[in-house]
Amino acid sequence: MTHFFKRRVNKLTKSILVALAATGVAASAHSATDLHYASVSELSKMMADNELTAVELVEHFHQRIADLDRQGPAIHAIVELNSQAIEIATALDNERNEGLSRGPLHGIPVLLKDNFDTADSLQTSAGSLAMVGQPAANDAFVVKQLRDAGAIILGKANMSEWAYVREMGLPHGWSGRGGQGKNPHALSEEICGSSSGSAAAVAAGFAPISLGTETNGSITCPASANGVIGVKPTLGLFSRTGVVPITRLQDTPGTLTRTVRDAAMMFNVLQGMDAADSATSVAPTGIDYTALLANDALQGKRIGYPAAYEGTGGVVLTPGVEFQKAMITLEKQGATLVPVTIRLPDIDNFVPGLMGAMKYELPEYLVSRSGLPIQSLQDLIDFNQLNPGKEGYGQATLEAMNALDMTHEQASGLILSISKNFKDAIDEQLREHNLDAMVAEADGYSQFSAAVAGYPAVTLPSGMSANGIPTSVFFFGKAWSEPQLFAMAYSYEQASAELRHPAFK
């Protein structure tokens, strides 16, 4: 940390308070005094007012990561820092000094899950030692969008290796490259999902925003466990070009932040058609995802909540204590809550479909990269047998995938059929009860349903359990309903003010 930066601490604290008043962002005492918990809106305001530089901000996060990720509680949320971050920050500061601003992300550090290609010195490994070698030649489409908007790629976040597909049953948040990630709220508790490092890093104050990916719960689950805001868009809203795949029929990038507004601002940047990803051709463009954010956005809304799921694995749900509190808040904000029963279609072939699709799509990605130790699924399996890592974990899922007797067309057919059934099940309730959206707690069923349908979802904090673990609410709705979901989530966020910062215990 520079001497100049230390001299500015009091001025920065004052500026955060001013920025809070200007933006209307609800925040705790921590975010008003600690730079590491400031939002993008606050940080952007400070830089615009010449109270903070991008270089100082990068230095601050570098020191915090050194203190808490590498040492102390050793969260292991970060696998690699960008050696060019200070250089990039300097260039962006020079632009600002010349009167140029690229927008609210100008000079803002962002962390990327370790499955986004970056055309710099950073590795893109999906957490696997088998992928460490030559960095990618090109930025992923969404990474280029972030750079063009002035964001600084601070580094790569740890993840469950191969998006939890090396061997199902391994600890969440573990990778051969990054080790075992931890939940900053409760170090011995579940970190959850393959975007675990991206969520834990934002919760711990290592960066204000990060990118993750989701195939099935890999943003929603870590957002819930780590007490941050995770947004999974409609499938096709964000490009997947340059992202290590499971399957494009289910994969999507998504955001991890500490405020709804920050997530909406990221959506403003990450929307847009990519000629190399046909799914983006039908997505809406040019939307301001912050436009509907208002304290009274829940007024008059009809929101369904799952009281039961019927069909395969049917269950009656009993709302937990924190969700009951959330429901009261929603009603006080003017929403009408409607109990619904959602049909659970047959899902027996879903995992085999994903495995069958990845068996073909992963090798296509591998051959697009040069200088790697592996070029095929068999190469990966052979590498892991010779280099199992210090924990000695297995790779049963990868081996089963390699042995699977299924064509790509057969796998795609299974996924598309199941996805349509889940779309129909959600649409049926929205239509029958004239709903604007649905809300649930982290019951697993709702998250799975929205993910398989390819529908958008916003997860955000609802409080803490009796044993100090974050709890969450989960808004989801029909395709392309992100603006409305953001608005409802924002109204709930402002009324509930349930964001908590971690204790690192």
Measured distance CA(26)–CA(207) in Å, rounded: 19
Position 229 scores a pLDDT of 98
Known catalytic residue at 144: no
Gap between the Cα atoms of 211 and 425, Å rounded: 29
DSSP string covering 55-122, please? Answer: HHHHHHHHHHHIIIIISTT----EEEE-TTHHHHHHHHHHHHHTT----TTTT-EEEEETTB--SSS-
Whether 36 is covered by a domain: the verdict is yes
> Which residues on neighbouring strands pair with residue 311, listed in sequence order?
344
DSSP class of residue 497 equals: -
41 in a domain, yes or no?
yes
Is the alpha carbon torsion for 240, 246, 250, 251 positive or negative?
Answer: negative
d(CA 414, CA 171): 28
Are the beta carbons of 277 and 240 closer than 8 angstroms?
yes
With respect to residue 31, please indicate whether it lies within any of the assigned structural domains.
Answer: yes
Encoding tokens for residue 37? 């918990």
Helices 482-496/260-270 angle, 10° precision = 160
pLDDT tens, residue order, the chain (505 aa): 333 233 333 344 344 333 433 344 333 333 333 799 999 999 999 999 999 999 999 999 999 999 999 999 999 999 999 999 999 999 999 999 999 999 999 999 999 999 999 999 999 999 999 999 999 999 999 999 999 999 999 999 999 999 999 999 999 999 999 999 999 999 999 999 999 999 999 999 999 999 999 999 999 999 999 999 999 999 999 999 999 999 999 999 999 999 999 999 999 999 999 999 999 999 999 999 999 999 999 999 999 999 999 986 678 888 999 999 999 999 999 999 999 999 999 889 999 999 999 999 999 999 999 999 999 999 999 999 999 888 999 999 999 999 999 999 999 999 999 999 999 999 999 999 999 999 999 988 999 999 999 999 999 999 999 888 999 999 999 999 999 999 999 999 999 999 999 999 9
Name residues whose C-beta falls within 8 Å of residue 29's C-beta, 6 or more positions apart in sequence. Answer: none
Give catalytic status of residue 332 as yes or no. no
Q: What is the pLDDT of residue 4?
A: 29
pLDDT in the model for residue 355: 97
Show Cβ contacts of residue 98 under 8 Å, excluding neighbours closer than 6 positions: none
Domain span holding position 32: 1-52
Of the residues 15, 218, 462, 491, only one is catalytic, namely 218
Q: Is residue 109 domain-resident?
A: no
Terminal-to-terminal C-alpha distance of the chain: 26
Q: Which of 124, 114, 160 is nearest to 366 (CA)?
A: 124
Which residues face 174 on adjacent strands?
Answer: 180
Buried b (16+ CB within 10 A) or exposed e, 406-422: beeeebbebbeebbebb
Q: Does any domain span residue 38?
A: yes
**Quick check: is 33 in a domain?**
yes
Q: Choosing from 39, 44, 194, 412, which is the catalytic residue?
A: 194
Residues in the chain: 505
Q: Is 15 a catalytic residue?
A: no
Question: Which of 15, 41, 45, 113 is the catalytic position?
Answer: 113
Q: Is residue 76 part of a domain?
A: no
184, 191 in Cβ contact below 8 A?
no
DSSP result, 374-406: -SSHHHHHHHHHH---TT----HHHHHHHH---
Give the count of domains, the chain.
1
- Alpha-carbon distance values, 186 to 159, 175, 226, 444 (Å): 18, 20, 9, 21
In a domain, 7, yes or no: yes
Residue 281 burial (C-beta neighbours within 10 Å; 0-12, 13-18, 19+): exposed
Burial annotation 434-452 (CB, 10 A radius, 16+ → b, else e) = ebbbbbbbbbebbbbbbbb
pLDDT for the residue 75: 98
